[in-house]
Amino acid sequence: MQVLSEEQVRHAVRAMKAYLAAPRTANGRTRFEHYRQKDQMRASVIDSELMPLLREYLKGAGRLADFKSDVDSINKRNHLWGFKGPKGQMFFNMMVKVAKDKAECDGEIKAAIRMPHNDRMASTQINNLFRYGTKIAQRHTDSGGSLSGRPNLGSIPFFLSYFWQIQDRAVWPVYYTNSVSKMIDFDLWHPTGDLAADYCSYKSVQEELADAFSKGSGLTFGLYDVERVFWFHGENPVGGESPRMKLV
């Protein structure tokens, strides 16, 4: 079922075309080319480091603490995801720190980060981790721990979608704060506050945008490329002034 209206698609395509028409980077590449190169680096790190690490952990070959530390190390050496921030590694660290039963935590993390077979399973895994996180956060405060020491459960969609995308980058978009913000700004999608439902609807819109951008540009847009359009209009990490495109 189509989520976006024809008007929303037109507005989104305008944003995509502004991205494609942006001035070239200092090395002479278009933004599309620049980000494609970075995304090839992402794919290389996934194939050579992250996926083998994740596969071994899910098979039970490594400890949770070691897996957490190794993920942190890989992301510190490869600045390609933004996982080092509050919704990624910090959330991971706090979940493990607050959990008193490390074996239980290990099982919950394994079940949650394993790639879902479909959107229904994705929703279940988000809800299950939310329930577990709520439980250990309550235990933390009940035992005298501070509110600031509890993991922010709103980070769950980003945290899980990072690992899901490692397992299939053509299917699972990362729930980036910037993408959420720009989709709201452009009136393409609005979250409801239900973490599981929001991620699944976000995913559906991202899929429609990939198709619309491909048709509107004559290029092949995947989920990485959709993400980059929003980076351009939001964070603009390659430098220069961030465009303030108002879609009206």
Is residue 68 situated within a structural domain? yes
Is residue 240 situated within a structural domain? no
Which amino acid appears at position 218 of this protein?
A: G
Tell which residue, 151, 193, 217, has the closest CA to residue 19.
217
Query: What is the value of pTM for the model shown?
Result: 0.92
Is residue 245 situated within a structural domain? no
Is residue 248 situated within a structural domain? no
Rounded CA-CA distance 43/51 in Å is 10
Is residue 241 situated within a structural domain? no
Q: Supply the range of the domain harboring residue 222.
A: 6-233
Is residue 123 situated within a structural domain? yes
Is residue 239 situated within a structural domain? no
Q: How many CB atoms lie within 10 A of CB 40?
A: 11
Local confidence pLDDT in tens for the 248 residues of the chain: 788 999 999 999 999 999 999 999 888 999 999 999 999 999 999 999 999 999 999 999 889 999 999 999 999 999 888 898 899 999 999 999 999 999 999 999 999 999 999 999 999 999 999 999 999 999 999 999 898 889 999 999 999 999 999 999 999 999 999 999 999 999 999 999 999 999 999 999 999 999 999 999 999 999 999 999 999 999 654 333 344 443 32
Rounded CA-CA distance 234/190 in Å is 17
Is residue 243 situated within a structural domain? no
Task: Work out how many domains the chain is built from and give that number.
Answer: 1
